[in-house]
Amino acid sequence: MQSTRQPVHLDISPRPGAQGNDFRPQVRLEWLSFLETTPFVSVLLLLPAVFTLAPVPIDETRYLAVAWEMRRATEFLVPHLNGQWYADKPPLLFWLINLGWSLTGVHAWSARLVTLLCSILSLVLIGRICLRLELGQQGARLAQWMFVGTLYFALFANAIMFDVLLTSCVLAALLGLLQIEAGEHRRGIWAMGVAIGAGILAKGPVMLLDIGFAMALVPWWSVRARNRWRAFFGTLGCAVVLGIAIALAWAIPAGIDGGPDYARALFLHQTFDRMTSSFAHGRPMWWYAMILPIMLLPWTLALRGSPETWRFLWQSKACRFALAWMIPTLVVFCLINGKQPHYLLPLLPAVAVVGATLVAHGECRISSGAVALLMLAAGGLLAAMPWIASRRVWLAPYASISPSWGFSLCAVAIALMLMRQRARSVAVLALASLIAIDLAESAFARPIGDHNDVTPVAEMIRDAQTRGQLIAHIGWHNGLYEFAGRLQMPLQAIRPSELRAWCEQHPDGLVVAMDGDLQLDAVPVYSKPFRDARASVWRASDAINAHLVDIRPTD
């Protein structure tokens, strides 16, 4: 019986005079057509890292410690770290991690799976936003592929970080904004209000900054809102009030329960203080301009346009919406002293929307040559890593990486070169980017995990606590041992100046320290490398007369 299956044809053609879709052949291979219609299959490439990557200090281990302490103490209103309240972050991610643990048991992979599910939700929301912006199914798929193939998203899709969850909340709020813009006021107010509340509970008032300019500039990107801007802004005000009310439903009881110092830190220190004089991650204004093109790989190398592209950016409603969402917000982030790459994660979907719009309308084409060369160079470097690491002390932990990972990455690059026309596809390039990230994460997973693993020390602490033996850590440790050892009580922290007195009072106790910061001239009972230091355990009786030098900068 003869097959009736027909070749699949694209449904988007370039507008007259555009540079265009000459790189998009009319007849696709079966597997390529399947990929273009199912971008969520690509998420499976990110799944192995969920189970192979160990928690990365200091952030991931700290957040797992807070979630563990929340579970251990059954205190879900005010987060705690090492027995003290923790006001740096709101509780939504900790709640979700504990919800996952209630289903799977307490594992680091369960927490990673929570953030991966948030990433999948973000892909769904990007597709819905593109449909609202009238880009059609093809444009929605292009945007999803561009987002999932972006270097920094692929790296962070399963990271135990607040920005992954915040990105989902930002996208949900913007979808509600588009519902309001389309006249669906009641649905939009509820969708946007709940998303704003969840975003504030995820990472604080920065949620309002991530969506604020898209709201404020709505008369610029929407003709409908421009004609009725007073009523429109009144509706948006209702959504914002609802979102703030949802956040305050937690913040006010938490502030009362945590006390005046916690309330002050919650409402002032982590909002206004961060905006005016950040106390961490201080970097110059131009820093994001340097780092953003790297975060957006491979698209910074792959997208090719013409001078007419810039004119189209201002004519397209979808591009105006994305530019209003991203550009002013990026400027504000540049003005804020504290900067981290992951702060920009909620803005990356805007780049995907712009890129998808330009490609779908033939204003940009895809060129994979430079990307393939970059992957080839990265693969060669990864293959040579054992040789390089054996000659550099600071790279010694990576000497065990197998060269086969690098050769596999080179094979992906060569495949891109050989595919020619078919490689000039958003889906294929995004898939190659995901495979490259997966190979790199797999290569570094074991050496990084071994280098950052403090489980033996954490288990010694837990066993000592179980025996009733007193144990102290010299200096603050950011919850490094709590989750790794599943500690049942906080680990006491003492100042270096208190060491001798503590050891004299508890000669049968144990002392823990990172002796890269604190040089103690006594023989430890256990010691292992940890990042650029060593995690060591001493008997208090040995540490009483030891000479301690604190080489850390004073506050």
Band of the pLDDT at 28, cuts 50, 70, 90? Answer: very low
Q: Are the C-beta atoms of 329 and 288 separated by less than 8 Å?
A: no
Mean pLDDT of the chain: 84
pLDDT top residue among 146 and 18: 146
The reported pLDDT for the residue numbered 1 is 40
Percent pLDDT > 70 in the chain is: 87
Dmax over CA atoms of the chain, in Å, equals 90
The reported pLDDT for the residue numbered 18 is 41
The reported pLDDT for the residue numbered 463 is 92
| Number of residues assigned to the chain | 555
Write the pLDDT tens digit of every residue in 161-175: 999 999 999 999 999
Instruction: Give me 13's structure tokens.
Output: 């053609």
Instruction: Give me 506's structure tokens.
Output: 């508890």
Task: Give how far the C-alpha of residue 292 lies from the chain's centroid of Cα atoms, to the nearest Å.
Answer: 14
The reported pLDDT for the residue numbered 102 is 94
Q: Is 413 helix (H, G, I), strand (E, B) or coil?
A: helix
pLDDT top residue among 195 and 277: 195
Task: Give how far the C-alpha of residue 425 lies from the chain's centroid of Cα atoms, to the nearest Å.
Answer: 26
Band of the pLDDT at 451, cuts 50, 70, 90? Answer: confident
The reported pLDDT for the residue numbered 534 is 83
Q: Which helix (H) or strand (E) is 154 found in, with range?
A: helix 151-156
The reported pLDDT for the residue numbered 274 is 54
The reported pLDDT for the residue numbered 529 is 83
- Comparing 69-78, 105-114, 309-318, the range with the smallest average pLDDT is 309-318
Write the pLDDT tens digit of every residue in 91-143: 999 999 999 999 999 999 999 999 999 999 999 999 999 999 989 888 899 99
Work out the burial of residue 134: count CB atoms within 10 Å of its CB; fewer than 13 is exposed, 13-18 middle, 19 or more buried.
Answer: exposed
Residue 502 has pLDDT above 80, yes or no: yes
- Comparing 43-57, 90-104, 192-206, 237-251, the range with the smallest average pLDDT is 43-57
Backbone φ, ψ for residue 304 (5° rounding):
-125, 130
Task: Give how far the C-alpha of residue 360 lies from the chain's centroid of Cα atoms, to the nearest Å.
Answer: 28
Alpha-helical (H) ranges within 182-296 are 185-203, 206-216, 218-221, 223-227, 229-258, 260-264, 272-276, 287-295
- Catalogue the E-assigned strands of 105-168: none
DSSP secondary structure letter of residue 474: E
HEC secondary structure over 292-313? HHHHCCCHHHHEECCHHHHHHH
Residue 69 has pLDDT above 90, yes or no: yes
The residues pairing with 474 across neighbouring beta strands, listed in sequence order, are 494
Band of the pLDDT at 310, cuts 50, 70, 90? Answer: confident
Report the distance separating Cα 415 and Cα 78, nearest Å: 52
The reported pLDDT for the residue numbered 423 is 60
Band of the pLDDT at 364, cuts 50, 70, 90? Answer: confident
Report the distance separating Cα 435 and Cα 306, nearest Å: 30
Write the pLDDT tens digit of every residue in 388-440: 888 887 777 788 888 999 999 999 999 988 886 666 788 889 989 999 998 99
The residues, any chain, with a CB within 8 Å of residue 326's CB and separated by 6 or more, are: 347, 350, 351
What is this structure's pTM? 0.87
Q: Which bin fits 204, alpha (ψ -120 to 50), beta or left (φ > 0)? A: left
Once rounded to an integer, what is the mean pLDDT over residues 312-331?
A: 91
Percent pLDDT > 90 in the chain is: 46
Band of the pLDDT at 516, cuts 50, 70, 90? Answer: low
pLDDT top residue among 222 and 420: 222
Write the pLDDT tens digit of every residue in 277-305: 555 567 888 999 999 999 999 999 998 87
The reported pLDDT for the residue numbered 535 is 87
